[in-house]
Amino acid sequence: MKRKNQNKRREFLNNVCPTVALAFMGVTVLEACSSGGDDGDITGGGGGSNNNGGSSNLGYTKSGNNVTINLNHSNFNKLHSDGWFNLYQEKILLLKISSSSYRAFTGSCPHQGTHTAWSYNGSSSEFVCGQHGNSYKTDCSSSGVGGVLKCYSSSLSGNNLTVTKS
């Protein structure tokens, strides 16, 4: 009987302790590196990481270094309304320049390479890192604190925006 109780106790601790530890210690880490839900994160299925080369039900597909985004998909409404979007699963920041022009950037901060939450300051045309507060211009050349936000090539064909990550 003593052995059975020890096994139950061990099972309980194995299931509960990691969750409790994250609740106490991991909250700040998770907040600093998460999308926070405010910056356009798509939820529900880990988009782009499944075996069929993408996640068309989330509005985009992935093939090699190319990510093709269906701009008419409801998951990208924030891109149209706010002018920018953090495609967190693919580590891509999208910026709408005009109805026919878009720019794409890495979602990893040049300062320390972390994939982080972002905000966008339209008045200064800068993305602001959620982890350190560093700002990065969106002209694909100006340097901010810690470097230049890497710009990806993108092309628009109808309602599909293709971003080539390189």
Task: Parse the chain into domains and list their residue ranges.
Answer: 1-33, 35-164
45 and 57 in contact (C-beta within 8 Å)? yes
Q: What is the side-by-side strand order in the sheet with 84-87?
A: 54-55, 60-63, 66-70, 160-164, 151-157, 101-106, 92-98, 84-87
Query: CA angle 87-114-16, nearest 5°?
Result: 90
Give CATH for domain 35-164: 2.102.10.10
- Maximum Cα–Cα distance across the chain: 71
Q: What is the pTM of this model?
A: 0.69
**Per-residue pLDDT reduced to its tens digit, 41-84:** 564 333 333 333 556 789 999 999 999 999 999 999 999 999 99
CA atoms of 117 and 88, how far apart (whole Å)? 8
Which amino acid makes up residue 160? Answer: N
Residue pair 115/36 in contact (Cβ under 8 Å)? The answer is: no
Instruction: Say whether pLDDT at 98 is over 50.
Output: yes
d(CA 135, CA 158): 32
